[in-house]
Amino acid sequence: MLVASSNENLTLEQLEDDNALKEAEELAEILRIKIEVCIYILVFLIGGPLNVMTLYRSLQSFSRAHKAKSQILLLRITLNLADLMTLFLYVPKQVIWLITYQWYGGEFLCRACAFFSTFSFYLNSFVIACIAIDRVFGAYNISSLNAHRKAYIRCRNLLGIGWVAAFILSLPQAVVFTTTSPYENIDFKQCATIFMIFLHEKRMEYQDPATTDARRMEIDEEATMMQRWEKMYAINHFLFVFWIPCIVIVFSYAVVLLILQGHLRQERSPQMCFKFRVNTSDSALNESQSTATRSPTRSTYLLTQEESFALRSSNSKENIAHYEFESHHTRQGSIKSKVSNGGTKFGAMAVTTIHRAKQHAKRQAALIIVAYLCIWSPYNFFTVLNLFGVPIMEELRHFLSFLNAAICVNTVVNPIIYGVFRPPKK
């Protein structure tokens, strides 16, 4: 009798411990959900206005550039649109789902949200990769007189490929996701993948007492096969949404460093003062200067509209030189200029202003890429570990949702890098 009573006491203690553990896990899960919802709401409230303001300014600048369109501005606008899609499509969907754990939008909205949420992430990654590729061509063509126009056309083509690729890669999401009612006689719907639905149905069938052992063995085989398909689909998704763009980015900047290293070797030789000799009779630039007297990094200073604008504004403010600069590409790619003061040299201050503008654009591009890699890498790295069943992920699996929410913080960081808080240029 004493042994029986002691066993009962142990059983009661175990039940109490189990209940206490379950309650603690439930409280931790509720707290996790609340924190995650707060992250999404803050991202939406801060990132929404910042991205709308940035897009408005970028479109204004783009519309003012009538002839010489900026490829960096085009890339920025596209990245801005991807961030807005993430903010206004993905973030609200996640908040509603975390609060209700139900889907009230119906079949069409389930598939549409799954498509556009994934599309925005693909587009974001592809635009960042395009920025990296643009930096490679920019470094390679650093001394080309036709580089600016070619850069805009190249970026436009790259972005076209990026939009099409993002669209095609997102289409499976509209097929994979669908609405389901997992519980009978209960009005409870979810927007889930066909993999999750299949595994849930097989699990319910497996747990049915009427299911035979032979059928349970078949269910195990079917579930294992479906899990393999799910893993293949997930690996394909993560490859294209992050890892392939990441490889392109790292490889591109490695090439940029090698190219710039080559230019630095060339610039170590003694150089004469930088001059542009311009005929006052609207003739082409005199190309008879010796290549040894010109820096290869300076022959593209006066190509873009942004640079010529910086040149004019610098001269008007500092009164360094009084001239009008009008440039256009001829069939041979030369530049014609009109100088009102009859001088033969451009002011050193103007060249410095142009150089600073170019360096600022390059710094912006580099910061955008660094922010992308720093914010996106943790989630994608730990997701790969989770896919391959690394033991440590048993403890860290709950943090994946936080890392996923942290990706959306990138939509807040990008406008700050663009300089949204700077006063607009007149």
Q: What is the pLDDT of residue 332?
A: 39
Q: Is residue 423 part of a domain?
A: no
Find the mean pLDDT for residues 158-171: 97
CB atoms within 10 A of CB 52: 16
Over residues 312-346, the pLDDT tens digits come to 444 444 343 333 333 333 333 443 344 444 444 44
pLDDT for residue 285 is more than 60? no
Q: Is residue 426 part of a domain?
A: no
The Cβ-side half-sphere exposure at 252, using a 13 Å CA radius, reads: 21
Find the mean pLDDT for residues 193-206: 93
DSSP H or E run through 178: strand 177-180
CA gap 311, 229 in Å, rounded: 59
Residue 101 structure tokens: 């754990």
What is the residue range of 86's domain? 2-418
Of the pLDDT bands very low, low, confident and very high (cuts 50, 70, 90), residue 182 is confident
Give the 3-state secondary structure of 233-246: HHHHHHHHHHHHHH
Of the pLDDT bands very low, low, confident and very high (cuts 50, 70, 90), residue 378 is very high
Q: What is the pLDDT of residue 372?
A: 93
According to DSSP, the β-strands at 177-180 and 190-193 are antiparallel
DSSP state of 336: B
CA gap 74, 59 in Å, rounded: 9
Question: Could you please report the per-residue DSSP string of 247-299?
Answer: HHHHHHHHHHHHHHHHHHHHHTS--PPP-----TTSPBP---S-GGGS-TTST
For the CA atoms of 284, 289, 290, 292, what is the dihedral angle to 10 degrees? -100
Pick 319 or 367 by higher pLDDT.
367
Q: Is residue 251 part of a domain?
A: yes
DSSP H or E run through 112: helix 106-140
* Structural domains of the chain, count: 1
Of the pLDDT bands very low, low, confident and very high (cuts 50, 70, 90), residue 164 is very high
Of the pLDDT bands very low, low, confident and very high (cuts 50, 70, 90), residue 157 is very high
Listed as own residue / partner, the contacts of 96-103 with beta carbons closer than 8 Å and 24 or more positions apart are 97/191, 98/33, 98/36, 98/37, 98/40, 99/37, 101/190, 102/188, 102/189, 102/190, 103/179, 103/189, 103/190, 103/191
Q: What is the pLDDT of residue 387?
A: 86
Q: What is the pLDDT of residue 313?
A: 41
Q: Is residue 334 part of a domain?
A: yes
Residue 61 structure tokens: 């600048």
pTM for this predicted structure:
0.75
Over residues 101-143, the pLDDT tens digits come to 889 889 999 999 999 999 999 999 999 999 999 888 888 776 5
Q: Is residue 284 part of a domain?
A: yes
- Residue 304: closest CA among 315, 316, 295, 312: 312
Q: Is residue 84 part of a domain?
A: yes
Of the pLDDT bands very low, low, confident and very high (cuts 50, 70, 90), residue 306 is very low
Q: Is residue 424 part of a domain?
A: no
The CATH number for 377's domain is 1.20.1070.10
Q: Is residue 425 part of a domain?
A: no
- Residue 303: closest CA among 422, 151, 165: 151
